[in-house]
Chain A
């Protein structure tokens, strides 16, 4: 909502300056988004007379002018074709910046002739695109006066961002009322409001409201008036200047008058060229398929939810949104039909949205227009038309009636203090509400309040508290520190909520960078990763690439890996901790820590060669996350089954019993290819929701007592020849279970297949640590333990000790 300072002062008698008013508006909830003060910006530019203009000695197209600024005579070199002696122009002295070009003016020599400023064009002042010549002012313009004042540009423009509840402030009147209530002056009577025009004849055009019962609210009231014999032409200068200042293009007196009331009183109006209407006006819902060429030059196809103002030949306007081209007023209009109506806010908003029309009328109707202002606005607009365009008005044609708007809201004055935290007396609350136009009656200790008709947003006590507080001043509410409910706050995160935090920090420690990627992706990608169910598709995606909720985090990471790899970041890793979706219910969302590594384990380095990443890097990441999250990793079982986006022979799942906690492995070569990634990238997905939380123990977080043995530990190595299909895990398990007391650690230090071994077999070499607790092991005991280990492994794996 834009208006000028002088326009505001039509309604508000105030001594407050521009800055004070702007601050006050913001603190009233009418946020000032910009103040454009051209009087100030253009202050250095003054009216001057060209005393002489002579040909530049060294340039055909330049003239050397002597300019009388009212203070002194200054020499200026000027290139404008219209510079001539005797003319009045606008002078810019050296030392100012020209707003239209951003050029800083310096004293200079142009082709050898001194120039001490310039005579400016409209474009140079940022007023228009006119650059054919310098500005010419009337002969009698006051020499030396500020140009902005002479040109009527010194009226500052204020731009307020309105919240959707304040339709009343879509008019200057409403803004002035808020300021007056807050003590910034008093509200003036407006001379153009409150009059009445006697009708000289009966309107030949009648109005019919034809709505089905369920759409009766679409247009509760419509007033028309026929005015004959008008002369339409440009509106007076004051009106044109005001409209231009707030960014509207003056069109003609009739149209400018309707725009004026839209901005001044938040009361949109419409004028039809009466001679272009056929028969009576019918306000009704459109019939599906009807079309309208609107005043914005676009043609719209209508449906049966849209309110139209129609005549005998069809829709001539969209109620509350925009008028039609065919019946619009032109310079030739002599008979005009004036419309002032009420349209349903919701239907108006829906129409505007559906058709993509943003108009000043829609802006106001969708926020709600004062239902009591229909007749006064009709009369005020009639008066102004008669005054500016002449003519003779008919009696008004009134269809429908003013809807019921009075309602009573109770305010217990103490609620202002209870909610607001600041002492405001009942008397203060009452006077603030009255100043805003509310009717207030005292009823015992409560106030019975009737909101004014222009405030359809006020429904409950809390709304009244806000009205009182915002006028009283939020800045007067004392700051109170939040009280603690206990000296030490409870932990902000529950144990399960700490898992994503732990997963993130763990993966970052391991060298992966955290990404944040969208929760939606292309349908085809979702399908590749086992998703794409219809219930997870967006109806209105921002693009087809982002139309399906992701079934896995990996596709986005693979995509990011490729982008980074293309940029030359060849050896790196990314992870994300975020949601994935299996259905559209709350239970269908789960939290995953997923990651991708590609290229080598490290960049090229002089000291050691890096190796390509492999499935075991991904396995280590997954186990690190699980361990970081407190999962019992010692009991994890690696199972060679993973979804089909992994390499079938180089991937697996980490399970606790039957519960899958993670997948890891090399990315399936066809998946890698689909993402233009080099083969060899590895990935993991850890399902944080599946991680079992440590059981609360009686001892809390206390650990089992540490048992340190004073006796020497003994390490023995064994190699077993087993079939290819035997998992290292079963060799290690068997060795460990051979003597649970004695065997404290088993590691694999070699895996071999090839010459020297039967085809289809491999050798797995393990190192076993024997840790006695009660006495040093004797050679015989070591032998016995070794034999048990060999026996256990051979039995479990069908292999033999390699000798």
Chain B
């Protein structure tokens, strides 16, 4: 390269590195490589040279142009990077600011618990049956072997509606057991249903609400016995409370619509005043059950000499309170948002045995 070209090169490279903005750099490019630029001008002079000179000088000019182009590109990148950095620095936000409010809906613990029950018993082949909240005497009492003067009927603290013109008096169902009757009236065995729903008793204090929820279970076929009843409910208790070695105890009891009857206790500990579900030497009653009374089967048109099976019923509030540590029954119906946000469940926290029961 001639001294001239070397001077040009040094001059240009100095200008490139002196450029302190993309605009300044562009001005250098235009001044050297633009249509009227210095190096472009030098390239044009080649046409007037002899072939030998042209070859020699042309090669030198090409080298110079490439060098300059490479220097421009390198400088452009570094300036662009610096400029981006400067811009990003100026764009900083305070990331400790709170995000925009998100929907904060909740599922009530009673619904969540019902979904869990349906999932567990569904897995055992039970399907959901339903009946009306306003019942008649037959389905709520008579068919369940609770005759009019039976003390049990009085103990149920029944809500009555006004008498109908035909003299019958509708009641608010005192338990979900009438769904057993309605189911058996509609279909012949084999039957496997659960019936979660609202129930009503005229009782209102710290541990009783005039409206509450129960789930009924009914299984009728030709051979199911108390061993199966135990198997079914022990598995349920362990799955629901998520304690695989939960002690479960069946002790004799009495209900008009089952014979033999049992109450079911689960193990717990009350050490230090806190209730913990699991083995701990103490017991907690959670449900009633038994073999369906032959009279109840007969009342529904099912032959008790051929069919047998079990029924059970439990309070949904009670098991929800035990599982989720809800201390006061009455708060369930207060619709207090603070309570719902604390004890309620996220919309997509859908219980399932595969994905896990509730959170």
Q: Which residue numbers of A lie inside 8 Å of B, CB to CB?
A: 26-29, 31, 163-166, 345-346, 349-350, 353, 366, 417-422, 457, 460-463, 465-466, 469-470, 474-475, 477-486, 489-494, 497, 501, 504-520, 534-542, 546, 549, 556-557, 560, 563-564, 567, 569, 572, 574, 577-579, 581, 584-586, 588-589, 602-603, 605-608, 610
Contact = CB atoms under 8 A, between A and B. Distances in A.
Given A419-B291, A421-B228, A504-B111, A29 B335 contact: no
Contacts of B77: none
Interface in B150-205: 151-152, 154-155, 159-162, 164, 169-170, 172, 190, 192, 194, 198, 200, 202-204
Contacts of A540: 159-160, 202
Contacts of A569: 337-338
A29 B203 CA distance: 26
Contacts of B160: 538-540
B24 interface: no
A557 B121 CA distance: 32
Nearest to B124: A482
Given A518-B333, A563-B335, A564-B336, A513 B228 contact: no
Nearest to B106: A513
B105 A603 contact: no
A159 to B, nearest CB: 15
Contacts of A607: 97, 100
Nearest to B200: A519
B134 interface: yes
Contact of A462 (B235, B294, B332): B294
Interface in B253-269: 253-254, 259-263
Nearest to A345: B151
Interface string B95-109: 001101111111110
A626 to B, nearest CB: 17
A556 B10 CA distance: 87
A29 B259 CA distance: 13
Nearest to B252: A29
Contacts of A537: 161-162
Contacts, number: 274
Contact of B210 (A165, A518, A549, A603): A518
A584 B341 contact: no
Interface in B124-138: 124-128, 130-134
A419 B225 contact: yes
A354 to B, nearest CB: 10
Interface stretch (B43-51, B66-74, B82-90, B342-350): B342-350
B291 A480 contact: no
Nearest to B260: A466
Contacts of B194: 492
B254 A29 contact: yes
A659 B291 CA distance: 45
Contact of B340 (A513, A535, A584, A606): A513
Interface in B313-359: 332-338, 340-341, 344, 346-348, 350
Contact of A163 (B121, B133, B254): B254
Given A350-B149, A518-B333, A574-B337, 15 more contacts: A164-B152, A165-B254, A457-B254, A477-B250, A483-B228, A485-B125, A486-B125, A489-B125, A515-B340, A520-B210, A542-B202, A546-B210, A567-B336, A572-B337, A581-B134
Nearest to B344: A513
Contact of B253 (A163, A469, A519): A163
* Residue from A28, A417, A493 having most chain B Cβ neighbours under 10 A: A493
A507 B103 CA distance: 10
A380 B195 CA distance: 53
Contact of A584 (B170, B254, B333): B170
A514 B339 CA distance: 11
Contacts of A605: 98, 100-101
A501 B132 CA distance: 18
Given A519-B200, A560-B335, A514 B190 contact: no
Nearest to B346: A508
A542 B210 contact: yes
B272 interface: no
B106 A475 contact: no
B231 interface: yes
A483 to B, nearest CB: 8
A492 B122 contact: yes
A538 B200 CA distance: 12
Contacts of A516: 108, 110-111, 332-333, 335
20 contacts: A353-B154, A421-B230, A462-B259, A474-B226, A480-B225, A480-B227, A489-B123, A505-B350, A508-B106, A509-B348, A513-B340, A515-B335, A516-B335, A517-B335, A519-B200, A535-B162, A538-B161, A538-B172, A542-B204, A564-B337
Interface of B: 97-98, 100-108, 110-111, 115, 118-119, 121-128, 130-134, 149, 151-152, 154-155, 159-162, 164, 169-170, 172, 190, 192, 194, 198, 200, 202-204, 210-211, 219, 223-228, 230-232, 234-235, 249-254, 259-263, 291, 293-295, 308, 332-338, 340-341, 344, 346-348, 350
Nearest to A471: B252
Given A469-B260, A560-B335, A586 B132 contact: yes
Contact of A420 (B200, B226, B334): B226
Contacts of B202: 540-542
Contacts of A483: 228
Nearest to B332: A516
A758 B130 CA distance: 58
B231 to A, nearest CB: 5
Contact of A27 (B159, B251, B291, B335): B251
Contacts of A584: 134, 161, 164, 170
B127 A491 contact: yes
A684 B262 CA distance: 45
A455 B168 CA distance: 33
Nearest to B265: A26
Nearest to A420: B226
Given A480-B228, A510-B105, A513-B337, A505 B251 contact: no
Contact of B231 (A480, A514, A538): A480
Nearest to A497: B128
A514 B227 contact: no
A662 B149 CA distance: 45
B105 A513 contact: yes
B226 A485 contact: no
A608 B98 CA distance: 12
Nearest to A347: B149
A489 B124 contact: yes
Given A474-B262, A513-B344, A538-B161, A557 B228 contact: no
* Residue from A420, A422, A538 having most chain B Cβ neighbours under 10 A: A538
Contacts of A564: 335-337
A511 B105 contact: yes
Contact of B125 (A28, A490, A534, A579): A490
A513 B170 CA distance: 33
* Residue from B126, B234, B262, B337 having most chain A Cβ neighbours under 10 A: B337
Contacts of A479: 227, 230-231, 234
Contacts of B130: 497
A546 B209 CA distance: 12
A126 B135 CA distance: 50
Contacts of A492: 118-119, 121-122, 126-128, 194
A420 B125 contact: no
Given A505-B107, A586-B132, A474 B250 contact: yes
Given A163-B254, A164-B151, A514 B107 contact: yes
B127 A477 contact: no
A418 B225 CA distance: 6
Contact of B128 (A457, A484, A493, A603): A493
A538 B249 contact: no
